[in-house]
Amino acid sequence: MTDAATATAPVKRRTLSGMNPAVGVAAVVVVIMAVIYLVGGKDQGLVTQSLVSGLLLGGVYALISVGLTLIFGVLGIVNFAQGAMLTMAMYIVYALSTAGLPVYLATVIAVPLMFVFGMIVQATLLTKLTISGSHDGPLLVTLGLSLLIINVLLMIFGGRPKSVQAPIDGSVSILGAVASWPRVLAFIGAALVAVALTAVLKRTPLGLSIRAVASNSEGAKLVGVDIGRVYALTFGIGAACVAVAGGLMTPFTSLTPSVGEQFTILAFVIVVLGGLGSVVGAVIGGLVIGLVQTVGALFLPGTGSLILVFAVFILVLFLKPEGLYGARR
């Protein structure tokens, strides 16, 4: 059962010990951070800086993963094109910015464009496969779509890294740590979108239809829900989420046609950590992975922090394969 199917359930999901997973994760994070502060052997100011940076980065990770987990929760497919769609959104923002539009206005324009793109992809390439219950077909289609997007971007923009000037310079002090305004705004934007998406799922007719299809597609069809329309809208919402994430990340990310692929891998780790199909789990998982990556870099510089990320991934698969908010299948 997914968040899309249980957004209005009166009882919160709890672990075997009766504790809400979010509380348990928060407690573990607090204990680990206390140990790092006290006996980690690192400067406390540096640890605080890594903590703040990790939370800001995790918010954006969460937004990328929310779209991925929503698509899985409703359509039952894993979207291998999520990273490529993120890259596509970033290049749309880049193209509009070079045309003279402010980067955040370009992001606002990119969101409906990616939403329509997602709907078209679902309606033309995936709907029949999804309704028929095919598992291999959607995986191959989204993988092929990913390769297509990357190579089209390479043909149009070339392979040289590109960048977008941040519209707001300077930084802000958070708990004694320094954070650039573009990263702070990216975190705030990601939080607002996550809250808005949760409200849509819980309080709107569209959300009711999405939750009905996620819970029982055949039952929803019998009561008059247009399954194909819900599938297309859900994929469109997933594409819109990565459009927001891409636009918010563009001011502090070097653009190449393959830049989104690294986020695809992290998004899968986050979705598994939070639970396949769980929007809340994706948000919590994103924050946790952001912290693991930045704080872990203090002890394992460079790409070594990814070792810790994948160690968390394997540990979760071993101890709780369904994830923090996922249901046993």
Is position 174 within any domain? yes
Q: Cα separations (Å) of 71 from 58, 140, 316, 329?
A: 20, 16, 22, 17
pLDDT of residue 91: 95
Diameter over CA atoms, the chain: 62
Is position 290 within any domain? yes
Is position 324 within any domain? no
pLDDT of residue 113: 96
Query: CA–CA separation, 184 vs 89, rounded Å?
Result: 20
C-alpha angle 143-64-208 in degrees, rounded to nearest 5: 95
Is position 38 within any domain? no
- CB count within 10 Å of CB 205 equals 8
Type of residue found at 11:
V
pTM assigned to the model: 0.84
Q: What is the pLDDT of residues 257-297, one digit of tens each?
A: 989 888 888 888 888 888 877 788 888 888 888 888 888 88
Domain interval for residue 232: 22-31+46-319
Query: CA–CA separation, 279 vs 13, rounded Å?
Result: 13
Query: CA–CA separation, 78 vs 87, rounded Å?
Result: 18
Is position 292 within any domain? yes
For residue 184, give the CATH number of its domain: 1.10.3470
Is position 12 within any domain? no
pLDDT of residue 76: 78
Type of residue found at 4:
A
Q: Which residues does the chain have with pLDDT short of 70?
A: 1-22, 24-25, 40, 133-135, 302, 326-329
Q: Got the DSSP string for 99-131?
A: TT--HHHHHHHHHHHHHHHHHHHIIIIIHHHHH
pLDDT of residue 85: 94
Domain count, the chain: 1
pLDDT of residue 4: 55
Is position 41 within any domain? no
Query: CA–CA separation, 280 vs 301, rounded Å?
Result: 30
